[in-house]
Amino acid sequence: MEKEILKKLEKKLKDEKEKLEKQLKQFAKEEKKTGWKTTFPKFNGGESGSGTLEKGADEVEEYVSLLTLTQKLEKKLEEINAALKKIKEGNYGICEKCKKEIELERLMVCPEAKFCLKCEKAKK
C-alpha cells in the first residue's frame, strides 16, 4: 500500500478514535484495566411520593441504554485501536482470514476492517 494512502487511512482512524472517545466521555469513565465504565444517571436522591417509581424506572432505562451504547462505542474503539496497531506493525490492510490484501475501496469506507469483502461475506 502506498505511504500516502496509508497516512490518509491512519488519519481517518485517529480522527474517528478521537470522536469516539469524546462521545464516550459524555456518559462513561475510562478505566485503564477494564476499558470504559458507564456512569449511572443521577438518581432522584431518595425522594418519596408519587412518581418516584416512574422516575426510578426511567433512570434505569436510561442507564441500560447508555450501557448498550457504551459497549457498541467501546467495541468500535477497540477495532480502531487494533487497526492503528497493525499500521505500526506494518501488517495493516491484510485480511485476517485469507491473508490477502483488503480492497482499498473497503478500507476507505471502513478503515478498521479486519477481513476482505469475500471473507466478510462468507462469515455471515
Q: Look up cell 424506572; give the residue.
A: 57
What's the pTM value of the predicted model, to 2 decimals? 0.77
Show Cβ contacts of residue 103 under 8 Å, excluding neighbours closer than 6 positions. Answer: 116, 117
pLDDT at residue 62, rounded to an integer = 75
**Any idea where the domains of the chain sit in the sequence?**
15-92, 93-124
For residues 35-60, give the mean pLDDT.
62
Question: Residue 44 — very low, low, confident or very high, per pLDDT cuts 50/70/90?
Answer: low
pLDDT at residue 52, rounded to an integer = 66
pLDDT at residue 106, rounded to an integer = 97
- Encode pLDDT of 67-119 as tens digits: 888 889 999 999 999 999 999 999 999 999 999 999 999 999 999 999 999 99
For residues 21-49, give the mean pLDDT.
69
CB 28 within 8 A of CB 38: yes
Question: Residue 45 — very low, low, confident or very high, per pLDDT cuts 50/70/90?
Answer: low
CB 74 within 8 A of CB 36: yes
Q: How far is CA 71 from the centre of its chain?
A: 8
